[in-house]
Structure 1
Amino acid sequence: MNIKSLLIGSAAALAVVSGAQAADAIVAAEPEPMEYVRVCDAFGTGYFYIPGTETCLKIGGEIRASVYFADPDFVNDDNADDNGPWESEVRARVTIEAKNDSEIGTIGSYIRLQGYGDLDYSDSSGAFSLDQAYITVGGFKVGYALAFWDDVGISGENDAFTNDTKFNLMSYTYSSDAFTVGLGIDDLSPSYLDNNVGVEAMVSASLGAATVSLYGVYDFEAEEGAIAGILSADVGPGTFELYGAYASDVSVYANVAEWTVGAAYGFKATDKLTITPSVNYWSDVGFVDGDAWGAGILAEYALAEGLTAAATVDYFDADGADDVWTGFVRLTRSF
């Protein structure tokens, strides 16, 4: 065999081997593209896009641990539950919000679940329940939600006038830079044997450093109504609040007193500490003869972002009854 034949044979052998290896080669498949969670800033902080959609989702919640105390002479009264001078409570909330733009406006949904610790005096079951759930389309709202009437009152812990403020309802709210107007209809059936409704309205105007709000409600079954007005203004290092309310008689919306007035001042002592003294007066408590008044002071301190400590002491004195001292200390973690 000459040199030329040997070279030709070697080249042919190499070609055969290379062809066999090429036929057996494994080609790795390219990875599927991954869609990462994107931040959605169209509706405020905390929202993110649900992957594959243009809907923005926000998940939040709160854990609140409280210890309540009362004057032992009050809790041991024959007309009160004798549970001792103090009680503890733990409340948890989970909120889910979803929003997206559409050809009919912004569509939103809100769900809030709430539960208490097992055997807490506020809820012996300890189970979570639906606290709110509603749909919004532009300014329209429909579902199980707090009514406008829930905003009646002032800062502090001793104001009291409204009764039920959460219903199956339908409402519309129009807002501009300085004015807000709202109308709503509430299903009051759970409070009566028959199907009955109530109506509510509110109007609010911001005038520089001050905001004035008016509220009105009417219970068609009781044929009774109530009105309330609130003034809030920035004064010095804090916010001053003044409110008054009147009810024609007992209704689903109001059953505390015929009328009331109250005032509070939220003093911003530091960037983290707010101290709010308040005072309230009620006439014809329970819609019978007899007046009452109360005063309290609430302190709230921001320990860190999302963590607040609070404490209050309140005094209440009603005609024909012993005066009462109550209060609480509380730690709240929100996210």
Structure 2
Amino acid sequence: MNLRLSLASVAALTSVNAAFAADAIVIAEPEPVEYVRVCDAFGAGFFYIPGTETCLKLDGYVRMQIGARGGASYSGGTYAGDYAEGWRFTTRARLNLDARSETELGTLRGFMRIQADATNNADAAYGMDQAMVQLGGFYVGYTESAFVAPWALPGIARFGILHTDDGGQHASQQRQQIGYAYTGPNGLFGSITLENDQNEGKGYMPDVVGVAGISQGWGGVWGKVAYDESAGEYAVLGAAQYNVPGFAGSSLRLGMFYASGVNMYALDMPVSGGGSSEAGTVEWSVAGSYLHKINAQWSATVGGQYFKEFSGDKAYLVQGAVVWLPVTNFEVRLEGSYASEENLRGGRKDDTWSGLLRFTRYF
């Protein structure tokens, strides 16, 4: 009797201890992990920031460029000197961050570009090259002037007339700005932008840039007008692109610039430059360019631009490039430029040339 009672007691205690032991080693279920999800609402490359409805895209490139340039000045057919000549090595790293989300007022966007250029054998300092905030069609921030590359509008209206990377002469500059962009049916687009006139503390009136155009499958037509409030002068650009049927990616461009006087949106002469006075500032210019897409890997372009200066000097510029894409996201570009300028005041003719070989890895 006592033996059976003892065995029963031991069994009971063993069961209780086992129960306590089992309770002691129970591990809580881990919280579910939210993996990165693809966001296809804004195109390829966007993903949702975990825990939010904001889509983020990171892209950019790394490139190395070997450049060279030279030139000469002639007076009465006699060689008078030369420009600085020699090799120029430049390596650039660029990172773009583009955050977007949908709201009841339209797409909310924040864009930032960080960039550095190493032009010698020393580390390059990174800096903010662009930064923009956009809600619907309204935008504010720092980027290229709308007369050069209007924000939030089709790429057809961006930069110069020539198809080369340099793009010919096109009053390149970046500015603080406030604007509104519109893209409508049938490829219609336009924007109005107020730009900082770089005379802070000397009045409250900004410069004004307006852009309007149409972009369709056959090509497009666009125009830009900019008013420099400080100078009281304006500049106008009109251009068109025709996409060649049967040659996908091939196109022909024509354009014209005009300036009423010396201002921030007028073009500089291609050799002498320095458009702070009528000497070196272009009154009008015409340009044309053709890009031929040979196949998926090869393309070539050639173009030219003619200039008439306010003081009477004339000049022309020729640019060309060959581009090779041996694999996806890797580009090899060979580009060259030649400019000749007739200097009536100095009684001489100046010319300059430049070229580059560039290797770029996009991501």
Q: TM-score, normalized by length of structure 1?
A: 0.89
Structure 1 residue 12 corresponds to structure 2 residue 9:
yes
**Counterpart in 1 of 2:48?**
49
**Counterpart in 1 of 2:133?**
135
**Counterpart in 1 of 2:35?**
36
**Alignment map for 1:84-123 (pairs within 5 Å):** 84-117=85-118, 119=120
Structure 1 residue 64 corresponds to structure 2 residue 63:
yes
**Counterpart in 2 of 1:333?**
361
CA distance in 2, matches of 1:71, 1:289: 25
CA distance in 1, matches of 2:201, 2:61: 33
AA aligned opposite 2:224: Y
Unaligned runs of 5+ in 1: none
Question: Could you list the per-position Cα deviations for residues 137-161 of structure 1 after superposition, in whole angstroms to 9, with x for gaps in the alignment?
Answer: 0111101122321125221256544
CA distance in 2, matches of 1:307, 1:97: 22
AA aligned opposite 1:153: G
1:158–1:142 Cα change, 3 Å: closer
CA distance in 1, matches of 2:125, 2:315: 36
**Counterpart in 2 of 1:197?**
206
CA distance in 1, matches of 2:95, 2:4: 80
1:255 Cα deviation after fit? 4.0
**Counterpart in 1 of 2:178?**
170
**Counterpart in 1 of 2:305?**
280
1:207–1:110 Cα change, 3 Å: closer
CA distance in 1, matches of 2:298, 2:80: 36
Aligned residue for 2:349, secondary structure, equals coil
Indicate if the aligned counterparts of 2:71 and 2:350 stay in contact, CA closer than 8 A. Answer: no
Structure 1 residue 23 corresponds to structure 2 residue 20:
yes
Indicate if the aligned counterparts of 1:212 and 1:231 stay in contact, CA closer than 8 A. Answer: yes
1:206 Cα deviation after fit? 3.0
Indicate if the aligned counterparts of 1:118 and 1:127 stay in contact, CA closer than 8 A. Answer: no
CA distance in 1, matches of 2:336, 2:284: 24
Indicate if the aligned counterparts of 1:167 and 1:187 stay in contact, CA closer than 8 A. Answer: yes
Indicate if the aligned counterparts of 2:257 and 2:285 stay in contact, CA closer than 8 A. Answer: yes
RMSD (Å) for aligned C-alpha atoms: 2.3
**Alignment map for 1:295-310 (pairs within 5 Å):** 295-310=318-333
AA aligned opposite 1:88: F
The partner residue of 1:324 within 343, 352, 360 is: 352
AA aligned opposite 2:9: A
Structure 1 residue 217 corresponds to structure 2 residue 226:
yes
Structure 1 stretch displaced more, 316-325 or 299-308: 316-325
CA distance in 1, matches of 2:82, 2:71: 13
CA distance in 2, matches of 1:192, 1:119: 37
**Counterpart in 1 of 2:291?**
266
Q: Percent identity?
A: 30
AA aligned opposite 2:296: D
Aligned residue for 1:206, secondary structure, equals strand
Question: Could you list the per-position Cα deviations for residues 202-259 of structure 1 after superposition, in whole angstroms to 9, with x for gaps in the alignment?
Answer: 1111354030001100001100101011110112422001111101111112242111
**Counterpart in 2 of 1:231?**
240
CA distance in 2, matches of 1:13, 1:158: 91
1:180–1:77 Cα change, 3 Å: farther
Question: Could you list the per-position Cα deviations for residues 249-289 of structure 1 after superposition, in whole angstroms to 9, with x for gaps in the alignment?
Answer: 111122421111111110111111110011111111xx321
Indicate if the aligned counterparts of 1:189 and 1:196 stay in contact, CA closer than 8 A. Answer: no
CA distance in 2, matches of 1:283, 1:109: 41
Unaligned runs of 5+ in 2: 74-78, 149-157, 269-281, 343-347
Indicate if the aligned counterparts of 2:90 and 2:119 stay in contact, CA closer than 8 A. Answer: no
Paired residue total: 324
Structure 1 residue 312 corresponds to structure 2 residue 335:
yes
Aligned residue for 1:20, secondary structure, equals helix
CA distance in 2, matches of 1:47, 1:272: 26
Q: TM-score, normalized by length of structure 2?
A: 0.83
